[in-house]
Amino acid sequence: MNLLTTAIIVVVVWGLIALGSWLWVFLSAKTSAVLLKPIDFTKKMSNENGQIIDVRESAAYKRSHIMGARNIPVANFSQGKSGLRKDRDIFLYDERLRDVVRVGKSLKKQGYHKSKIFILRGGFSRYDGKTTK
């Protein structure tokens, strides 16, 4: 094989792996929670008496977060220490879909119903509602 063929194969394989990884995360999110676009996330939060949870690390939360959000880093959920109410909607967000999907799956395993767990699609950087700082 020449160098060009090898480079093309590497790029194609890398692309397929990246696509597969993204697809796995996206489908995992849909099985454990309701994914909402930023505008729908904002509307749903304003109409409900829900719990807004920022699962990013404390430093990121302190820099800026959605108004009314509590910070519960992703590690707390894997230890079963969320302290969230099961009778109220849960609005989750982070920077990357991968971490928040893990939280959604963890909550579902702890007995929270999928219809009460909402994930901000695109993460905090895509949110255009009220934030601190």
**Does the pLDDT value for residue 105 go beyond 90?**
no
Query: Which amino acid does the sequence have at 70?
Result: R
**Residue 120 CB neighbour total at 10 angstroms:** 26
Domains of the chain: 3-126 (3.40.250.10)
Give the pair of three-digit tokens for residue 98: 């991968």
Query: Model confidence at 1, in pLDDT bands (50, 70, 90)?
Result: low
Residue 89 pLDDT: 94
User: pLDDT tens, 114-131?
Assistant: 899 999 988 999 998 899
The residues that bridge with 22 in the sheet, in sequence order, are none
Q: What is the pLDDT of residues 38-95, one digit of tens each?
A: 999 999 998 778 999 999 999 999 999 999 999 999 888 776 666 898 899 999 999 9
Which amino acid is located at 92 in the chain? Answer: L
d(CA 59, CA 30): 28
Predicted pLDDT at 28: 61
Cα separations (Å) of 78 from 56, 62, 117?
A: 14, 22, 16
